[in-house]
Amino acid sequence: MTEQRSEYRGDHGAATAHRPVEPDSTVDAGGAAGEHRAGWPAGGGWLRVLRLDQFALLPAVVLAIVIGAFVNDAFLTETNIVNILRQSSELSILVLAEAIILIAGKFDLSLESIVGLAPAFAAWLVISAETGGSGHDVNQYLGLAVLLLLGAAIGAVNGALVVYVRLNAFMTTLAMLILLRGIAIGFTSGKTLYDLPGSFTYLGTAEWVGVPVSVWLAGFLYLVAGLFLRSHRWGRAIYAVGGNAEAARAAGIRVDRVVWVVYIVGGLLAALAGLMLTGRLASVVSNQGQNMIFTVFAAAVIGRISLNGGKGSMVGALSGVLLLGIIANILTLSNIEPFWISAAFGGIILIALIIARFTAGDVDGS
């Protein structure tokens, strides 16, 4: 074993770990750095997963629910609550994808284009030429596999360009967003693809015990992601890389590999979000997913996912999604025009940034 000294600095710059590690190890170093960066106590157990600061946004969610109940009698009905959850499910998956990338210290603007391109290409392969497809009659389950693999492949390309070619993440993913959007519109000729097979619409239409399958799936993925990030060595390595990439690299964490895999997972989740949206709409529109990335960043920011990397929780990210979904629903029930809803989201981002700037947070990236 090679003796190598590693130093992790927390929010106040204090050294927190000096330990011998294997140069290629991602276990001990990732655990030490990730635990400190996430603000965990030294001991183990579930208490370090259920930290109270993760629930800081819940009072705002409760307040929004109370306001909604006063604004419109239909707000607290079962139908409306299920509608909020259903409409928020695909957004929550996209926020999950972006949150993991942000925690690793990067970001991806092209996720919204994957939401449109992946299901559009898969549907084009599967459906008949009469309904806008290729006419090749590809098996629907093979089409689903292509959908998910395409999302992962795009994420892999993004990650390779950012990590190995060392391109700027902002410009790279912005260019990819524009490129993928043009491809999606081009090969569909700007038309809506419809008459989709049942496997393509299942996640958006089916229900289990009265709750949409998409909601169950989103909840499950958030639970798995939260436990993975807090408990698995790779999850802790993601926090370490986002907190201080050079210190993580010195400790033996394969930083480039971690970031590349994070991009692949982000692309895969974006494709899944696109499938869920496709199922809810029972079609694929040519501009599907357009402008979703703004709402994704709004949810991430108000959910206290740091744009600096190394900080954030799945509880916070999910709380941000729910808060935006509730606010949008309240404004819709109040017959507010859609452009005012967009303006409200922009205001919410600014307020969240100001609050974070003057408290313990640093999500503004300064």
The structural domains of the chain, with segments of one domain joined by +, span 51-357
For the entire predicted model, the pTM comes to 0.83
Give the pLDDT mean for 219-232: 93
Question: Which pLDDT score is estimated for 176?
Answer: 97
Asked if residue 155 has pLDDT above 50, the reply is yes
Please check whether residue 131 is in contact with residue 193, taking contact to mean a CB–CB distance below 8 angstroms: yes
Write out the H or E segment, with its range, that includes residue 190: none
Q: For residue 290, give both structure tokens.
A: 């357009």
Which residues make Cβ contacts (< 8 Å) with residue 335, sequence separation at least 6?
A: none
Q: What's the half-sphere exposure (Cβ side, CA atoms, 13 Å) at 166?
A: 0
Which own/partner contact pairs does 330-337 have at CB distance under 8 Å and 24+ positions apart?
Answer: 330/64, 330/67, 330/68, 330/71, 330/72, 330/75, 333/68, 333/71, 333/72, 333/74, 333/75, 333/80, 334/71, 334/72
C-alpha distances in angstroms, 273 versus 58, 118, 119, 219? 24, 10, 9, 13
Q: What is the DSSP string of 95-112?
A: HHHHHHHHHTT---TTHH
Whole-number Å distance between alpha carbons of 133 and 122: 9
Amino acid at 181: R
Residues 6+ apart with CB under 8 A from 202: 213, 279
First to last CA, the chain: 39
DSSP classification of residue 284 = B
Dist. CA 331–CA 334, nearest whole Å:
5
H-state helical runs in 104-139: 111-126
Distance CA 212, CA 276 (A): 11
CATH topology of domain 51-357: ABC transporter involved in vitamin B12 uptake, BtuC (1.10.3470)
Q: pLDDT tens, 321-357?
A: 999 999 999 999 988 887 888 788 888 778 877 776 7
Calculate the average pLDDT of the chain.
83
Least trusted range by pLDDT, from 37-46, 167-176, 206-215, 353-362 = 37-46
Burial class (CB in 10 A: 0-12, 13-18, 19+), 111: buried
Residue 13 has pLDDT above 50, yes or no: no
Pairing verdict, β 207-208 and 211-212 = antiparallel
Q: What's the pLDDT tens digit per position in 59-109?
A: 888 999 999 999 889 999 999 999 999 999 999 999 999 999 999 999 999
- pLDDT, position 187: 82
